[in-house]
Amino acid sequence: MESEGLTIERLGLAPDTLAGEVAVVTGGGRGIGREVVRSLAWLGAKVVIAEISVDGFETERAVIQAGGDARCIQTDISREDEVKRLAEHAQSVYGRVTMVVNNAILCPAVPVLEMDVRTWDQVMGVNLRGAFLTCRAFLPGMIELGHGTIINMISTEAMPLLSAYMASKQGLLAFSQSLAAEVAGKGIRVVAFAPGFVATPGLIAVAERLAPVMGIRTEAFLNMPLHSGYAGSMPAADAGAATAYLAAALADVYHGESTNGFTVLERAGFLKTAGSNTCEQAGAGLGKPIKENGQDLFTQGAQAGNQLIRVLGETAANFERFPIFIRPFARNGFKTKAELNLQDWQHTAQRWAELFQKAAKGDLAAVEILSQGEALAAGLLQKLRTYFWGEPAEAARFTKDEQFLREARRISEERIGVVDTLISVFENIRK
């Protein structure tokens, strides 16, 4: 299949990676959905475009002109009878469906006090009920084959004016996790996927009302850089490629879990993590000298543990200062790089500090727990170190204030020093 400007071509997958697969993409007429269709078709899948508008037929033509195989079936996925017709038509054209991407959305920007029940029900009907109906329609065939992939598109959390949309997407996350548990051992992979911050027609349509509520200009809102690999929002072609790459290469990895487009494109080697190339070399020796014997080692561990608790508390407070729309991306970026979410890291640091305090007082049980967990702790701390090393580069995407950036670098070095001290303590426990 020949194409122009498809990001999927640059992700290292062969054009026949999905040969033999039949995919249904809801809302495939424009935006991310259109690019998902094009990317799956480039990988060799036959694609059914379930789209309520005539835009789906334009996507169909684009795929066929590029040498791919696609068929648009005009469908209102909130209606049970239409989803049943979709399933029957898809099977009559292509046979058994092996992939479903639930991408269709309804996203009105309406305050809760101004929202009528009809609007709320329409959003739930498309975003949540629609996903349930398509999964229920196509799962039996997948189970019979012992093979299938379902990707349910979710979103971030807690945005003003989007209560119905966000509620539906959080519900879809829980639905995906429950469904994954139900199909365990049946060869079906279910993933909840947040594509990224993409300036789609849907987002642009609500931006003029949403941006002022968040205290920023519409243009600034649409061009917020939430990853170091982008100067602004993610192109729809990249989001579509990330979805297709997830389906083709990472569905087993993320079965029963959620992930996002930035993470998938990093794993594909398309995006680089801030600071990833220099983190291992930089900041060496920032930790305090370690005394290898006696209770001094555990006392130092307790002190470093308490410092880490403080540092993580500062990180949490910084997240709360971000605009409400940025916070979920900040928290997710932390978890992606540091492996644990911020709350779990705070709990872990608290536990380490308490264990070191007990060990410093001669508690042999605490010493044994710390010794047994040395390798795991050191590995986790290296991940946290990566996150702290990348903080100045992240800050530089949002401001050019040199004084602020110098302070960001100083704080980063201090935090890396705390982490290095703890790594050194753990490494010396068994010596």
Active site residues: 165
- Render 239-283 in DSSP notation, one character per residue: HHHHHHHIIIIIHHHHTTSEEEHHHHHHHTTSS--TTTTTTTTTT
Among 65, 22, 28, 64, residue whose Cα is nearest residue 45: 22
DSSP conformation class of 7: G
Token digits of residue 397? 């995407």
Task: Please tell me the distance from the alpha carbon of residue 191 to that of residue 181, in angstroms, as a whole number.
Answer: 11
b/e per residue, 262-288, with b = 16+ CB within 10 A? bbbbbbbebbebbbeeebeeebeeebe
Among 72, 89, 179, residue whose Cα is nearest residue 128: 179
Q: Are 64 and 98 in contact (CB under 8 A)?
A: no
Task: Please tell me the distance from the alpha carbon of residue 50 to that of residue 102, in angstroms, as a whole number.
Answer: 10
Q: State in Å, rounded, how far the first CA of the chain is from the last one.
A: 60
Instruction: Return the SS3 of 80.
Output: helix
CA distances from 27 to 33, 35, 199, 228, 413 (A): 6, 11, 16, 29, 46
Among 73, 39, 25, 12, residue whose Cα is nearest residue 236: 39
What are the two backbone dihedrals, phi and then psi, of residue 74, each rounded to the nearest 5 degrees?
-65, 120
Residues 6+ positions from 292 with CB-CB distance below 8 Å: 428, 431
Can you name the residues that pair with 70 across neighbouring β-strands? 47
Token digits of residue 20? 């033999």
What are the two backbone dihedrals, phi and then psi, of residue 25, each rounded to the nearest 5 degrees?
-120, 115
